[in-house]
Amino acid sequence: MVKRLLDAGHTVTGYNRTRSKAQSLLDAGMKWGDTARAVAAAADVTLSMVANTQALQAVTSGPDGILAGLSGGKIYIDMSTVSPAAIRELAKQVKAKGAEMLDAPVSGSSITLEEGKLSFMVGGQREVFEKALPYLQAIGPKATYVGGHGLAASMKIATNLSLAVQMLAFSEGLLLAEKSGIARETAVEVLLNSVMASPMVKYRGPFVLQMPAEAIFDVNMMQKDLLLALEMGRQLDVPLPTTATTNEMLTAARGMGLADKDFAILFEVLARMAGKK
């Protein structure tokens, strides 16, 4: 994302807890901020993407947090998948600093980003969305305004639950075909060229043949999103039966010591339960 902003001609100041992980971006022209506060103070628009609600609170609060670096006229955009309630509370704190906030989680992964197909769902005030749109479109071609603060976070949670559910359904069909006598590679090829092959299934489906050395989105991260979805479902009286079942399969993955694997490891979990190595 930073590389795309740099390529679009923007001046970017960045911060990460481990500076060495940002070295390639520093080599590409990114400036360094010693704290999240320093980044927010240096920028007209500050963007953050962290693992969960707790991490968002950590990076925004305190004397070195983003809130401390915001002032009148600045825009703060968080792209994390976190609790909608946390976003709404944070937006109030940003407003108190004289700045404006958007929640803008993304649909896609590092693969989608590299293909130039990343998309945003954006919550907040529409006029702030219009101001921020050029920055978002420098990263990904599509940004859809969905409503007030927290609604983009809700939309992202609603989107992400389907990813895990789809992966489990793909795994069920694949395992059924394989145990009936069809080679796994052949079954994967057929499924990835069938009507059920969503963009996510097309790039993650091959992981059942060769898991990536480093997870794109691991079991713990996906389960965090499913738990957010289940909590929303409880609050809004929306039954989420397939989400609940998939969540239990992710718990099984953790019990098998597979928490650090990409959530495509759901196939391995199901295969072990079916007695197949």
Tens of pLDDT, residues 231-263: 999 999 999 999 999 999 999 999 999 999 999
CATH code of residue 265 = 1.10.1040.10
Distance between CA atoms of 144 and 34, rounded to whole angstroms? 33
Per-residue pLDDT, 274: 96
Q: Do 14 and 97 belong together in one domain?
A: yes
User: Do the bridges between strand 13-14 and strand 31-32 make them parallel or antiparallel, or are there none, so unpaired?
Assistant: parallel
State the amino acid at position 12 in one-letter form. V
Per-residue pLDDT, 43: 97
Q: Do 138 and 32 belong together in one domain?
A: yes
Q: φ and ψ at 78, to 5 degrees?
A: -105, 135
Q: How does residue 223 score in pLDDT terms, banded at 50, 70 and 90?
A: very high
Q: What is the pTM of this model?
A: 0.90
pLDDT tens digit sequence for 75-106: 999 999 999 999 999 999 999 999 999 999 99
pLDDT tens digit sequence for 103-129: 999 987 777 777 777 899 999 999 999
User: Quick one: average pLDDT of 34-60?
Assistant: 96
Q: Do 122 and 165 belong together in one domain?
A: no
Per-residue pLDDT, 155: 97
The catalytic residue among 3, 21, 142, 156 is: 156
Q: How far is CA 266 from CA 164, 166, 262, in A?
A: 9, 11, 9
Q: Do 54 and 126 belong together in one domain?
A: yes
Distance between CA atoms of 238 and 232, rounded to whole angstroms? 8
Q: Do 17 and 114 belong together in one domain?
A: yes
pLDDT tens digit sequence for 146-192: 999 999 999 999 999 999 999 999 999 999 999 999 999 999 999 99
Residue bearing tokens 């069920």:
172
Q: Do 169 and 49 belong together in one domain?
A: no
Per-residue pLDDT, 123: 98
Per-residue pLDDT, 112: 75
Mean pLDDT of the chain: 96
Per-residue pLDDT, 159: 94
State the amino acid at position 61 in one-letter form. S
The question of whether 156 is a catalytic residue gets the answer: yes
Q: How far is CA 182 from CA 157, 176, 189, 208, in A?
A: 35, 9, 11, 15
Distance between CA atoms of 146 and 101, rounded to whole angstroms? 14
Per-residue pLDDT, 276: 85
Using CA of residue 160, residue 264, residue 224, residue 58, what is the dihedral sign?
negative
Q: Do 141 and 32 belong together in one domain?
A: yes
- Give the residue numbers spanning the domain of 23: 2-149
Distance between CA atoms of 251 and 240, rounded to whole angstroms? 17
Q: End of a domain among 113, 129, 149?
A: 149
Helices 241-255 + 151-179 axis angle, to 10: 70
The enclosing H or E element of 266 equals helix 266-273
Q: Which residues pair with 123 in a beta bridge?
A: 103, 147
| Helix (H/G/I), strand (E/B), else coil: 76 | strand
Q: End of a domain among 118, 149, 180?
A: 149
Per-residue pLDDT, 8: 95
Instruction: Give me the percent of the chain exceeding a pLDDT of 70.
Output: 100
